[in-house]
Structure 1
Amino acid sequence: MTGNIELPSTSTAVQRSPLAPPPGRGLPPGCIHLGVPKEIVSTLRDLGIDPDPVIREVGLDPRLFDDAENVISHAALGRLLTLCVARTNCPHFGLLAGQRATILSLGLVGRLMQHSETVGDALRALVSNLSIQNRGAVSALMIDKDVVLFSYAVYQPEAESADQISDEALALAVNAIRALCGSGWTPAEVLLPRAAPADLGPYRRHFRAPVRFNQESAAIVLPARDLDRRIPGADHMIRALLEERIEQLKGGWGSEFSDDIRRLLRTRLTSHRCSAGDIADLLAMHRRTLSRRLKDGGMGYRAIANETRFEIARQLLQDTEVPLGQIAAALGYSESSAFTRAFRRWSGQTPTAWRAEGHFG
């Protein structure tokens, strides 16, 4: 019956995370539902590793992973993936975990995607509503003539294993689009912000498309015509119910303005003008209003923007072989020397020294 929809229950027989939001509430900043990360458990088992000791080693209760509605911090997810890579000696662990996930791993957002009219509507629903599932990363949809880029980026400061998280996210995104378009769908290409691995086979087998490594961002490239594909079985009544439930969750914790600005900056810093005035104009508010709202939360715009620049630079230096000049240009610096001076202020080291030491987290 189209008028009845079984929404995910908030009850569970297992211990819930201390960070789990109360029933009917949204996620606090920096947290993620375990819908996708719970596939880490099965992936470890497939690779011959008992997951429980690994999970305990990063300070988590293994029982949390029994319920996709449970919540952990994004920082804990990064630490867990770092340890999983070390224990399994598998540099593409995140990809393996992500390819096990399905569109329903995205919870209410995945269901909304299934009942969207077109693939374009589904991807816009994912971009607009990811924050009820994941408050440690942000996605964006960019259309340039006949080409579309669906991008994904971790924006939490000093997040570990951003490369593994990006692999996991894009593997899932491809699975989600295939669920809407058919199993034979393939992207035009896939962009990954990580150095090329010795074994390209796992990436080629899953994506079935050209994969470009050492990119500035994680993205799936697809033809714009794919956005117009109709989704079989989409039900407008179910869609309306899901949209209402999602809007309730979005307002449950209240919006933390500084977190909203971080998410916005993470998707725009490498491709748009991002002065305080530019962001204020984008949000249709006066620059003084933007500054006042941020200062009420304890941080100014410049500090948040520099924190975001540092996080982007850190991820690219750590996970890719992108040249320093290219990183500097992507972050809006006219000269590499200006970027080097800024990075030294943020970290106490030059970018070259940071990369050479192989920092993690």
Structure 2
Amino acid sequence: MIRGASLRGFARLVEELGGDPVAFTERFAISPDALTSEEGLVPITAHDLMLDAVSVDLRCADFGLRLACGQDLSVLGRLALAIQASSTVAEALECASRFMFVHSPALSVGVEPDPRGRREVVALTYRKDLRESPYSPQAMELGLALFHRVAVALTGGLAGLRSVELPHQPLSPVSRYAEYFGVGVSFGCPAAALRVERRLLDQEFRGADAAIRRLAVDYLTGHHTDPERLVSTHVRRALAASIGATPAVLGQIARLLSMHPRTLQRRLAAESTSLEAIVDDVRRDIALRHITTTDLPLGQIAAMAGFAEQSGLSHAVRRWEGTSPSRLRRRTRGTF
């Protein structure tokens, strides 16, 4: 999932390009309310597929970059307050890394060694967990462009930016990227990153306020649980790795997590879920992801999602989406 704030400016930009924003949300089964309610949650795969589809259908190769131009740090909600009140760039990045799951559990930012081996340079990385959702070029460009935009605003210009790296090949002319980022951009890299001089991490913020930061961090800690601390997160990952190959049996999952089956049941109940609910969610994620992003035969997708027969997949998709797998595939591709 991802907060609806990620779509700030989407409707206006789509309309400027001659498109119908509501039609796009309906096509990807996203509530139109997501265009106006920034606190709502949107399935990240549908969100990203929609960005890619808009780019193709409206012939706007730099859609992600354009969308980022209408956004700022405030899209992160209360996390933005904690970042702004931090004392240094390093502290702000630590806070963003710690609580990015509030915006989306699938996204992360971090400080890593320079991929080119320069000691005086670090990589400010922006990553998406591909176990949660497939890669999206437009969504990656939106995220990294917004990361850059926020960094410029917080540091007063991002002096020390050496270059920018993207995992995919250019969607727009390379000159468009140079125009946006103001430095050279490399493509086909291991991770999306802003390569900056290490000294930038020590830059102090004029608006630093330890009391406000402490209040903001306390709020985030008290109102949001890091998914990594949830047993259901680890059950979900275990199932995602095995559901197409072995039956989803409580005892087997419990052994993988070094836990007694009854203890696992109690821990899941305490998190208001169950193995059955997680199995259904994992099957849904695997099935819908492959239906909407690949041309794999439906029978193969059924097996990958742990269904004994294709009919099981068909019944499940109708329950989840109110339509058949084939119609869902056509709908997301705009070939109703």
Aligned counterpart, 1:32: 2
**Are residue 291 (structure 1) and residue 261 (structure 2) matched?**
no
Residue deviations 1:213-237, cap 9 Å, x none?
A: 1112111111110011110121111
Match for residue 133 of structure 1 among 103, 119, 122: 103
Shift in CA distance, 198/247, structure 1 to aligned 2, threshold 3 Å: closer
Residue deviations 1:247-269, cap 9 Å, x none?
A: 01223889334647999xxxxxx
Equivalent residues in 2 for 1:45-56, closer than 5 Å: 45-56=15-26
**Are residue 241 (structure 1) and residue 215 (structure 2) matched?**
yes
Q: Which has the larger radius of gyration?
A: 2
Paired-residue identity, %: 22
Q: Contact conserved, 1:113 with 1:125, CA < 8 A, in 2?
A: yes
Aligned counterpart, 2:170: 196
Of Structure 1 and Structure 2, which has the larger fraction of its residues in helix? 2
d(CA) in 1 for partners of 2:51, 2:26 = 13
d(CA) in 2 for partners of 1:115, 1:261 = 36
Q: Contact conserved, 2:8 with 2:35, CA < 8 A, in 1?
A: yes
Residue 184 of structure 1: how far off its partner (Å): 6.0
Report 1 or 2 for greater relative contact order, CA contacts < 8 Å, sequence distance ≥ 6. Answer: 1
Q: Contact conserved, 2:52 with 2:139, CA < 8 A, in 1?
A: no
d(CA) in 2 for partners of 1:150, 1:262 = 29
Match for residue 181 of structure 1 among 136, 147, 155: 155
**Are residue 92 (structure 1) and residue 62 (structure 2) matched?**
yes
Q: Contact conserved, 2:151 with 2:158, CA < 8 A, in 1?
A: no
**Are residue 122 (structure 1) and residue 88 (structure 2) matched?**
no
d(CA) in 2 for partners of 1:94, 1:148 = 25
d(CA) in 1 for partners of 2:139, 2:157 = 23
Structure 1 unmatched runs, 5+: 1-30, 264-287, 299-313, 319-345, 348-359
Match for residue 167 of structure 1 among 130, 141, 145: 141
Residue deviations 1:69-128, cap 9 Å, x none?
A: 111111221221122122212222122212321011111122211100001111111111
Equivalent residues in 2 for 1:4-43, closer than 5 Å: 31-43=1-13
Q: Contact conserved, 1:127 with 1:138, CA < 8 A, in 2?
A: yes
d(CA) in 2 for partners of 1:215, 1:129 = 26
Shift in CA distance, 152/258, structure 1 to aligned 2, threshold 3 Å: farther
Moved over 6 A (4+): 260-263
Match for residue 191 of structure 2 among 206, 213, 217: 217
What is the TM-score when the length of structure 1 is the normalising length? 0.62
Residue 157 of structure 1: how far off its partner (Å): 3.6
Residue 65 of structure 1: how far off its partner (Å): 1.5
Aligned counterpart, 2:181: 207
| Secondary structure, counterpart of 2:77 in structure 1 | helix
Shift in CA distance, 46/234, structure 1 to aligned 2, threshold 3 Å: farther
Q: Contact conserved, 2:85 with 2:210, CA < 8 A, in 1?
A: yes
Shift in CA distance, 260/114, structure 1 to aligned 2, threshold 3 Å: farther
d(CA) in 2 for partners of 1:146, 1:229 = 15
Shift in CA distance, 162/293, structure 1 to aligned 2, threshold 3 Å: farther
| Secondary structure, counterpart of 2:211 in structure 1 | helix
Match for residue 60 of structure 1 among 24, 27, 30: 30
d(CA) in 2 for partners of 1:214, 1:105 = 28
Name the count of aligned residue pairs: 253
Aligned counterpart, 1:101: 71
| Residue identity matched to 2:126 | Y
**Are residue 227 (structure 1) and residue 201 (structure 2) matched?**
yes
Shift in CA distance, 94/293, structure 1 to aligned 2, threshold 3 Å: farther
Aligned counterpart, 1:301: none
| Residue identity matched to 2:205 | I
d(CA) in 1 for partners of 2:174, 2:23 = 30
d(CA) in 2 for partners of 1:162, 1:36 = 14
| Residue identity matched to 1:80 | M
d(CA) in 1 for partners of 2:165, 2:231 = 30
| Secondary structure, counterpart of 2:188 in structure 1 | coil
Aligned counterpart, 1:24: none
d(CA) in 1 for partners of 2:15, 2:158 = 28
| Residue identity matched to 2:148 | V
Shift in CA distance, 291/154, structure 1 to aligned 2, threshold 3 Å: same
| Residue identity matched to 2:77 | G
Aligned counterpart, 1:324: none
Q: Contact conserved, 2:8 with 2:70, CA < 8 A, in 1?
A: no
Shift in CA distance, 187/41, structure 1 to aligned 2, threshold 3 Å: farther
| Secondary structure, counterpart of 1:77 in structure 2 | helix
When structure 1 is superposed on structure 2, of 43-52 and 67-76 the one drifting more is 43-52
Shift in CA distance, 293/71, structure 1 to aligned 2, threshold 3 Å: farther
| Residue identity matched to 2:257 | S
d(CA) in 2 for partners of 1:220, 1:170 = 8
